[in-house]
Structure 1
Amino acid sequence: MADSKPWTIDDAALGEQRHAPATLRNRDAIVAVLRDILPDQGIVLEIASGTGEHAVYFGRTFPNLTFQPSDPDPACCESIAAWTKREAVSNILPPKQLDAQAAEWDVENAAAILCINMVHISPWESSIGLMEKAGRLLNPGAPFYLYGPYLRDGVETAPGNLAFERSLKSRNLRWGLRDVADMDALAARNGFARESLVEMPANNISLVYRKTT
């Protein structure tokens, strides 16, 4: 599960480089899904990149792709740049300061979009903005990947996720775990169809959508 501030500051990087412990726990499971859905080439846009650790790991794992990390938080963009420099990964573009709720994104094209652990730590309007702009940016057949904890009809929610939901609501009433059915409906309104749902570690799931129109 994610946290609203799931990172620590690396003093050796003078406060710019941040570390999210969850990245080390989930990155290989995420890569296993991405291997089956990412295109062979093109730009992969990551929304809400956070510390940047996923971006550098994905860049190293998929050297034929170019990754465009982004985050609305300037401090996160600094961390992304610091990790990219430290790891010397050449197929990662400079981070962009993008907000899911912004009217437009400063991105010309993308062959795929990734969004990890953002949906539950943001208002529902952020998910709406994410889907709307992804629907405008991606071409038919392109993948749109979401990762995090979600609710599902007919599936008992893990106690840890219920506790996490209460924690999120205690910090911001507009945050919270979203229902997969609501994500599917939002996706359909923006030209996507869900291709798969993959069970992931720590009661998280991967949602894979494809642009259909």
Structure 2
Amino acid sequence: MDSAISTSAGAPDALISPAAERNSAAILQVLRAHLPAQGRVLEIAAGSGQHAAAFAAALPGLDWIPSDPSPQARASIEAWRTHTGVANLHPAQAVDMLDEASWPSQRLNAIVCINMIHISPWTAAEGLMQLAERSLTRPGGLLYLYGPYRETEVPLAPSNAAFDESLKARDPAWGLRDRGEVETLARSHGLALTLRRAMPANNLSLIFRRI
């Protein structure tokens, strides 16, 4: 989970992620254009819960199901859910991409995963694609990924290079992923890349559709 600080005394368990504050509006613009008007959305690695609260409020036709393996994150998500009172925001689930037994069994119209696959081992990305293959409606179920990537055809921004080094210093299994390798992994699980959009601060929005 991103570094965060406590919110106001009115919601002491709710955490604030500076990154989520910065990128929520830009991500919502993409989601609003591509998510269905109605359906079930599972958010993987929902962290502080700020995204979940903001997106569920802005997209009232969707059942938004946040999840995170961290008890601290789930407590923060619940605090945001209680504080905002958004009716279509569900309680957080303890879903872990490294533990298949924790994965939900229901069909999903979309899966949203923001800033996870570079702050986790590659096996978490493999789990995410496996879950998407198993759970997304077909054809057309949507997997949305957001974060920084390496791309063969695009020079790596100095800020992303420094970020990559810092991640690997924290854990050698972490680091920016090659977009082409992510696309190949997705394709092996019945998912086709349908959108690559440059986002602020050298991030990307990637949308895959279930074939």
TM-score w.r.t. length of structure 2: 0.96
Q: Please state if 1:95 is matched with 2:92.
A: yes
Equivalent-residue separation in structure 2 for 1:45 and 1:69 (angstroms): 6
2:58 aligned with 1:61: yes
- 2:121 matched residue in structure 1: 123
Deviation of the 1:107 alpha carbon: 3.9
2:151 and 2:25 mapped to 1: Cα distance? 24
State the Cα deviation string for residues 116-162 of structure 1 (Å, max 9, x = none). 00010000000000110111000221110000000000210000000
**Distance in 2 (alpha carbons) for counterparts of 1:13 and 1:189:** 46
Equivalent position amino acid for 1:131 in 2: M
Letter in 2 for 1:154: E
Q: Distance in 1 between matches of 2:152 and 2:59?
A: 35
Residues 189, 29 of structure 1: CA spacing in aligned structure 2 closer, same or farther, 3 A cutoff?
same
Q: Is the partner of 1:46 in helix, strand or coil?
A: strand
Kept in 1: contact 2:14–2:48 (CA 8 A): yes
Amino acid at match of 2:29: A
> Could you say which residue in structure 2 is the equivalent of 1:50?
47
- Report the residue type matching 2:16 in the other structure: H
Q: SS of 1:67's equivalent?
A: strand
Q: CA deviation at 1:26?
A: 0.7
Question: Aligned partners of 1:56, 1:132: CA distance in 2, in Å?
Answer: 26
Q: Which moved more, 1:133-142 or 1:67-76?
A: 133-142
Contact 2:146 / 2:205 at 8 angstroms: preserved in 1? yes
Q: CA RMSD in A?
A: 1.2
Counterpart position of 1:71 = 68
1:90 Cα deviation from its structure 2 partner = 0.7
Query: Among residues 118, 129, 132, which one is paired with 2:130 in the alignment?
Result: 132
> Contact 2:107–2:137 at 8 Å: present in 1 too?
no
SS of residue in 2 equivalent to 1:121: coil
In 2, the alpha carbon distance for the partners of 1:11 and 1:62 equals 25
In structure 1, what is the equivalent of residue 175 of structure 2? Answer: 176
Runs of 4+ in structure 1 over 4 Å off? none
Corresponding position of 2:34: 37
Identity of aligned residues (%): 44
Instruction: Give the number of aligned pairs.
Output: 209
- Structure 1: 5+ residue stretches without partners: none
Distance 1:107 1:56, change over 3 A: farther
Provide TM-score, normalisation by structure 1.
0.95
Partner of 1:158: 157
| 2:7 match | 10
Are 1:193 and 2:192 counterparts?
Answer: yes
Cα distance, 1:6 vs structure 2: 2.5
Deviations 1:71-116 (A, max 9, x none): 0001100100000110111101110011011124134121100000
Q: Distance in 2 between matches of 1:12 and 1:30?
A: 28
